[in-house]
Amino acid sequence: MFSIRLKQLTPYVPGEQPQDRRYIKLNTNENPYPPSPRMQTFLAAADMDLLRRYPDPRFTDLCSAIAKREGVRPDQVFAGNGSDEVLSFAFFAFFDGRNGPLLFPEHTYSFYPVYCDFYGIPFQRVPLKPDFTIDLKDYARIESSSGVIYPNPNAPTGILTPRPDIRGFLSSYATDRVVIIDEAYIEFGGESAVMLTAEFPNLLVVKTLSKTWALAGMRLGFAVGQPDLIQALYTVKDSFNSYPVNALTQKLGVLAMEDEVYYQETTQKIIRTRDSFARQLVRLGWKVMPSSANFLFAGKPGVSGKAVYDELKSRGILVRFFNVDGLTDFVRITIGTDRQMQRLTAELESMKP
Ligand code: PMP
């Protein structure tokens, strides 16, 4: 009944979205603030013709709005049903193992190996440094790699690679192999590599509206790169589903891109909350990785990440634990509102040593 292909799949497991009780949910890096208020206004008066007709398969208005916000041309933008889909199309379009494995960090977004298995792409995990940073020199293996992908800041560490290091790496890497930088969390403290796409035609930058723009439930992500890379993504999309981004999402995406002032405010609030919560963790004796994202990767010496996760869950707070060698001493804590982080701090203070 089932294909051999299917039997070989090991799906990605997302963070819990429990429906049983109300938790303080700090496990999937959702934004604690609502999306731009302009969206509520738009939805209240939305023309139902939008839903009757098929959406624009070229995302014209959306790509223009994204291009304007990112400082590129609309033909340098592709959109998808969440950045997961954009990434998936990119894996199909750019990586096939011809020149060796695809390289990505040993500890990183765990969907990457899933896409590799899905498309039959060989891959190699490159170890992080002992301080959990990425050294891009370790990826400059032109002879034996067919591309590179990594998130900046990295997940689940939150650690940023500075833009000069990225430029240095791109200058030394083969221009005929694609490098994808997954900037899901870049607005929380890093400099985007989007401007480098003008200089490096093999660079694709992928972003999501799920975090900074508080639209995880809407499912919208995009890629920025030179037009031939973008065209390749359209070829994959049009071989799979002409309309992955629905009409409402295209409209709401434009509103999100245009409300920079609102999102600057919420993003700055999250950054301030993160930095003060990190100080609280240090005060309580935790080891905290330096984060440029909307989460902290942290652990309490002598206590396993699983024990912290279990204890917090029993107290109504969800964080994320990764049962992966090298990461089991830590949990990943999404930054919520100040109130939520104060409650978490109080729970941590009252936990037995
Ligand atoms: N990349 C990274 C590094 C992520 O952490 C996530 C969120 N799980 C995504 C991409 C996917 O985001 P989405 O599909 O919601 O756009």
CATH number for position 302: 3.90.1150.10
**What is the residue-averaged pLDDT of the chain?**
96
pLDDT at 38 over 90: yes
**What spacing in Å lies between the alpha carbon of 349 and ligand 1's midpoint?**
31
Going by alpha carbons, the residue nearest to atom 12 of ligand 1 is 83
Lowest mean pLDDT among 141-145, 196-200, 233-237: 141-145
- Ligand 1 pocket test, candidate residues 13, 16, 81, 83, most atoms within 8 A of CB: 83
pLDDT at 218 over 80: yes
- pLDDT reported for residue 15: 83
pLDDT at 352 over 70: no
What is the atom index within ligand 1 of the atom nearest the CA of 210?
Answer: 15
pLDDT at 103 over 70: yes
- pLDDT reported for residue 13: 86
Asked if residue 245 and residue 156 are part of one domain, the reply reads yes
**What spacing in Å lies between the alpha carbon of 84 and ligand 1's midpoint?**
6
Asked if residue 112 and residue 68 are part of one domain, the reply reads yes
Asked if residue 251 and residue 158 are part of one domain, the reply reads yes
Domain-ending residue, one of 236, 259, 282: 259
Rounded percentage of the chain residues whose pLDDT exceeds 70: 99
Angle subtended at Cα 8 by Cα 4 and Cα 13, rounded to the nearest 5 degrees:
140
Rounded percentage of the chain residues whose pLDDT exceeds 90: 92
Asked if residue 128 and residue 160 are part of one domain, the reply reads yes
- pLDDT reported for residue 207: 98
Q: Which amino acid is at 300?
A: K
What is the atom index within ligand 1 of the atom nearest the CA of 220?
Answer: 16
pLDDT at 22 over 90: no
**What spacing in Å lies between the alpha carbon of 206 and ligand 1's midpoint?**
10
Domain-ending residue, one of 259, 281, 308: 259
Q: pLDDT tens for residues 115-166? A: 999 999 999 999 999 999 999 999 997 778 999 999 999 999 999 999 999 9
- pLDDT reported for residue 88: 98
Q: CB-based contacts of 135: which residues, under 8 Å, 6+ apart?
A: 129
What is the atom index within ligand 1 of the atom nearest the CA of 108?
Answer: 3
State mean pLDDT over 104-124: 96
Asked if residue 213 and residue 71 are part of one domain, the reply reads yes
**What spacing in Å lies between the alpha carbon of 20 and ligand 1's midpoint?**
25
Asked if residue 47 and residue 15 are part of one domain, the reply reads no
Asked if residue 248 and residue 267 are part of one domain, the reply reads no
What is the atom index within ligand 1 of the atom nearest the CA of 151?
Answer: 3
Asked if residue 248 and residue 205 are part of one domain, the reply reads yes
Q: CB-based contacts of 37: which residues, under 8 Å, 6+ apart?
A: 262
**What spacing in Å lies between the alpha carbon of 251 and ligand 1's midpoint?**
21
**What spacing in Å lies between the alpha carbon of 182 and ligand 1's midpoint?**
8
Number of domains present in the structure of the chain? 2
**What spacing in Å lies between the alpha carbon of 184 and ligand 1's midpoint?**
6
Going by alpha carbons, the residue nearest to atom 1 of ligand 1 is 184
Nearest to 353, CA basis, from 300, 280, 315, 289: 300
Going by alpha carbons, the residue nearest to atom 4 of ligand 1 is 184
pLDDT class of 192 with cuts at 50, 70, 90: very high
State mean pLDDT over 10-35: 90
- pLDDT reported for residue 353: 61
- CATH number, position 164: 3.40.640.10
State mean pLDDT over 333-347: 98
Pocket of ligand 1 (CB under 6 A): 82-84, 109, 151, 155, 182, 184, 208, 210, 216, 221
What is the atom index within ligand 1 of the atom nearest the CA of 211?
Answer: 15
Going by alpha carbons, the residue nearest to atom 7 of ligand 1 is 184
Domain-ending residue, one of 259, 276, 301: 259
Asked if residue 104 and residue 59 are part of one domain, the reply reads yes
Asked if residue 317 and residue 179 are part of one domain, the reply reads no
Asked if residue 79 and residue 154 are part of one domain, the reply reads yes
pLDDT at 227 over 90: yes
Q: How far apart are CA 205 and CA 221, in angstroms?
A: 11
For residues 165 and 331, is the Cβ–Cβ distance under 8 A?
no
Asked if residue 139 and residue 27 are part of one domain, the reply reads no
**What spacing in Å lies between the alpha carbon of 271 and ligand 1's midpoint?**
19
* Residue numbers of the domain that contains 337: 4-34+261-350
- pLDDT reported for residue 351: 83
**What spacing in Å lies between the alpha carbon of 202 and ligand 1's midpoint?**
22
For residue 146, the Cα-to-chain-centroid distance in whole angstroms is 22
- Ligand 1 pocket test, candidate residues 31, 66, 84, most atoms within 8 A of CB: 84
